Amino acid sequence: MISELAVPLGLTLAAGLATSVGGLVVLRKAQPSRVFLAAALGLSAGVMLWVSFVELFPEAVDSFTAAYGDSSARLYAGVAFFAGIGLIAIIDRLVPAVVNPHEPVVDGASESTGLAPAALRKMGLVTALAIGIHNFPEGFATFVSGTEDLNIALPIAAAIAIHNIPEGIAVAVPIWQATGSRRKGFWWATIAGLSEPLGALIGALVLLPFLGPATMGVVFAMIAGVMVFVSLDELLPTAVATGKHHAAVYGLVVGMAIMELSLLLFQ
C-alpha cells in the first residue's frame, strides 16, 4: 500500500516545492528595485486571477453539476465563490490597522520599494496563507489523480509546478523586503508550497472516503474567491504603490500568459 502511494505523494511534493524555485529568485538577486517588486507582485496576481476564473471556478461548476445537475451548479458555485471572498475579507478586517497594507506608503518605508516593512510583512504572510489554502486542494487533486492514472497526474503536477514558481516569488519578495533576510523569504515560499503535500497526506489518511462532488465544488469555488480577493486587495494595490504601475500591469499580463501556457501544454 505504501509503495502504491509513494509516486502520487512524490509528484505532489515536487509540484508544491516549485514555490522554492520562486524563492530562489530572492536568494540570487543582488538588490531589489521597485520595478522588480511591482512586476513580481503583478505576475503573481495574474497567475492567481487566471487560475481562479479559468481553472478553479469552472472546476467548481463541474463538481456541482455532477452533484446536483446543470440547473443549480452555477448558483452554488457563485455562492461558494463569494463566500470565499467574504471569509478572507473578514480575516483582513480583523488584522490590526498598524500592519494593514491598505496604506502602504508611510513613515519607515523601504527606500528601494517605497513600502513600509510592516505592510510588506503582512502582505507576504497573507499571500503565503492564501497560496497555502489554494495549494491544499491542488495537492489533494494531484494525489488522487496519481492514484488513478499517472498519465493524467503528470501533466497536472507539471502545470501546478509552473504556476507555483511565480507564487513563490510573490511570497518571498515582500518577506525579504520586510525583514532584510533573503533566507526568510525563501523559507516562507517553501512553507507555502508544503501545504500541497499536506493536502495529499490528509486526503490519503482522512478525507478521501468522505469527499464527494459537492464538497469539492465548495472547496474549488471558495479558494477561487480567496485568491481573487488577495489579488485585488493585496497584491495589485501594493504593486501599484511602488510607483511602477506599468511594471505591475506588465507583470499581471505575463502571469496570465504563463498560466494559460501551462494549461495549454499540460491539459
For residue range 168-215, list pLDDT tens digits in order. Answer: 877 787 777 777 778 888 888 888 888 888 878 877 777 667 667 888
Q: Is 243's pLDDT higher than 90?
A: no
Mean pLDDT of 120-149: 69
- pLDDT-derived band of residue 41, with 50, 70 and 90 as boundaries? confident
Going by pLDDT thresholds of 50, 70 and 90, the confidence category of residue 112 is very low
pLDDT range class, residue 85, cuts 50, 70, 90: very high
For residue 65, the model assigns a pLDDT of: 95
**For helices 213-230 and 117-148, what crossing angle results, to 10°?**
150
- Which amino acid is it at 245? H
Query: Would you tell me how many other CB atoms lie within 10 Å of the CB of residue 221?
Result: 27
- 95: confidence class by pLDDT, cuts 50, 70, 90: low
102 confidence band (pLDDT: 50, 70, 90): very low
CB 197 within 8 A of CB 16: yes
Q: What is the pLDDT of residue 78?
A: 96
18: Cα separation from own chain's centroid: 12
Residue 100 clears pLDDT 50, i.e. is over it: no
Asked if the model's pLDDT at residue 257 lies above 70, the reply is yes
167/128 Cα distance (integer angstroms):
8
Residue found by looking up cell 478553479 in the block: 56
Q: How far apart are the first and last CA of the chain?
A: 29
Choose the most confident range, by mean pLDDT, from 2-6, 92-96, 147-151, 165-169: 165-169
Q: pLDDT band for position 29 (50/70/90)?
A: low
What is the chain written as a DSSP string? -HHHHHHHHHHHHHHHTHHHHHHHHHHH-SS--HHHHHHHHHHHHHHHHHIIIIIIHHHHHHHHHHHH-HHHHHHHHHHHHHHHHHHHHHHHHHS-GGG-TTS-S-TT--TTTS--HHHHHHHHHHHHHHHHHHHHHHHHHHHHHHHH-HHHHHHHHHHHHHHHHHHHHHHHHHHHHHHS-HHHHHHHHHHHHHHHHHHHHHIIIIITTT--HHHHHHHHHHHHHHHHHHIIIIIHHHHHHTT-HHHHHHHHHHHHHHHHHHHHHH-
Give the pLDDT of residue 3: 59
Instruction: Mark the binding-site residues, compressed into ranges.
Output: 135, 138, 163-164, 167, 196
Q: What mean pLDDT is reported for the chain?
A: 77
Q: At what angle do helices 34-50 and 213-230 cross, to 10 degrees?
A: 160
Contacts with 96 (C-beta within 8 Å, 6 or more apart), sequence order:
none
Where is the binding site for Zn(2+), in residues? 138, 163, 167
Instruction: Enumerate the known binding-site residues for Fe(2+).
Output: 135, 138, 164, 167, 196
For residue 106, the model assigns a pLDDT of 33
